[in-house]
Amino acid sequence: MATSSSFQFGVELELLLASRKKSHPNWKALARDLSKRLAKAGIANHVNEGNDKSRDNYREWSIVQEITIPSQPAKNLWGIELVSPIYPVYSYWAADLSTIFSVVQSSAYNVVPSANCSTHVHISGTPVPFSAQELAALAKCALYFEPALDLLVPSGRRGSTAYWCQSNRANPALRRVELDSLSTGGTGGLASCLGFLDGILAPAATAVAEEGSCDDDSPGGSSTSFTYSSSSGSQSSSTSYSPPSSSSSSPPGDCNMNVQHQQQSKLEAKLLTSIISTMNLFPANSAYGRSHGKKKDFLRGKVYKWDFTGMLPSSSTKGENAGRGTVEFRQPPGSLSAEGAAGWITLALAFVVGAMAVGPRLGGGGGGGLENGHAEEEEMNGASPDELWELLSGGAEVLGWESLGAVEGLFARMG
């Protein structure tokens, strides 16, 4: 993925909106009034009362009731979410944001600061979705750069302080990785997590080395079985993959290509699912898990800083975002201005692109770094703000941007 034409995004703006002029009897009345004002300003939109997530709802902006932001009708305060259409990276999105905030910050409305609000950025590859290798690179960067990203957000959205943007390292899968490392004499910590993610990709190399073939004993298929181990230190997690067979006969060359394609597709789906399960597992013994009768840990990405569940294969029934082809950055706080929203969108895009394009080459110096972090005996604390800036600059260069724009303001307010 080398250019901005390979990426697209959407943003969700959670707002606590105060109506200055009108006293609305309910949320629906507020939403309809806001919709009319946005349309008058040139923003095509609709009220999505049922929060329908079908693709048609992402052709224009939509207004959704946000239940995690408590409305206060007596004070004429209403929790809403503005959901954008799908934007190409190079498009008019910044101008749209300016228009939207000119409406919600006006004589009619005011955006009230609230710790319950957040800004979510969804990013996808187009026309080809992110590969398992790209997703693994992003997952590693999400973990390694977490300390630096934490410095850009309010204290209430750092670590695992907020329920809806917990650290991905707090999920049961990575907690087990760290505990297993410690129990076998390793140092645990971030290095073990990065090493585990590296191990997940082992089947890709195995698949290249052990290509399926067609011969007289196995017409139309292959008996090759792929096994991989995800390991860091002594811990491991293994899965076997046996490619499908076919009873149809084909010319040897065509058969071989068909088998290899089937093998690669199934292997890619397994790798994607393994990476997502490593980053977005949620405990069955949590309050949510118990209330929903969960017997085993399960996928629930929307409570973590990075939600990868949108990358689940479309044939999977796991996760409410399955098949969307997106990754979601959920850590940013609520945006009070167009510049603030643009800053988080720009950061998320540059981070994802930088992680996939240049991330693995960063931090190779002594004392840690992404490349040095896979040795179990080496202590690693994660990235510095300078390393984060380097990653973002690399992403901006790939996208063809001359600067990081509003991201500079986020770094200036770092604390």
Q: Three-state SS string across 28-66, please? A: HHHHHHHHHHHHHCCCCEEECCCCCCCHHHHCCEEEEEC
Question: Which residues in the chain land under pLDDT 50?
Answer: 2, 208-209, 212-250, 317, 319, 364-368, 373-378
Q: In terms of Cα–Cα distance, which of 20, 25, 32 is closest to 63?
A: 32
Question: By the 8 A CB rule, do 276 and 139 touch?
Answer: no
Strands 77-83 and 61-65: what pairing? antiparallel
Question: By the 8 A CB rule, do 239 and 266 touch?
Answer: no
Residue 52 is predicted with a pLDDT of: 85
Tokens, residue 218: 């196995």
| Residue found by looking up tokens 């690179």 in the block | 137
Residue 35 is predicted with a pLDDT of: 98
Question: By the 8 A CB rule, do 3 and 395 touch?
Answer: no
**CB proximity list for 161: less than 8 A, separation 6 or greater:** 155
Residue 40 is predicted with a pLDDT of: 98
Residue 246 is predicted with a pLDDT of: 37
Integer CA distances (angstroms), 30 to 168, 324, 407, in order:
36, 30, 32
Integer CA distances (angstroms), 145 to 92, 226, 290, 333, 391, in order:
30, 33, 32, 18, 9
| Residue found by looking up tokens 């399926």 in the block | 212
Residue 178 is predicted with a pLDDT of: 95
Q: In terms of Cα–Cα distance, which of 264, 254, 157 is closest to 210?
A: 264
Residue 385 is predicted with a pLDDT of: 96
| Residue found by looking up tokens 């957000």 in the block | 153
Cis? peptide before 127, omega within 30° of 0: yes
Can you spell out the DSSP letters for 115-166? Answer: TT-BEEEEEEESSSPPPHHHHHHHHHHHHHTHHHHHTTS-GGGSTT-SGGGB
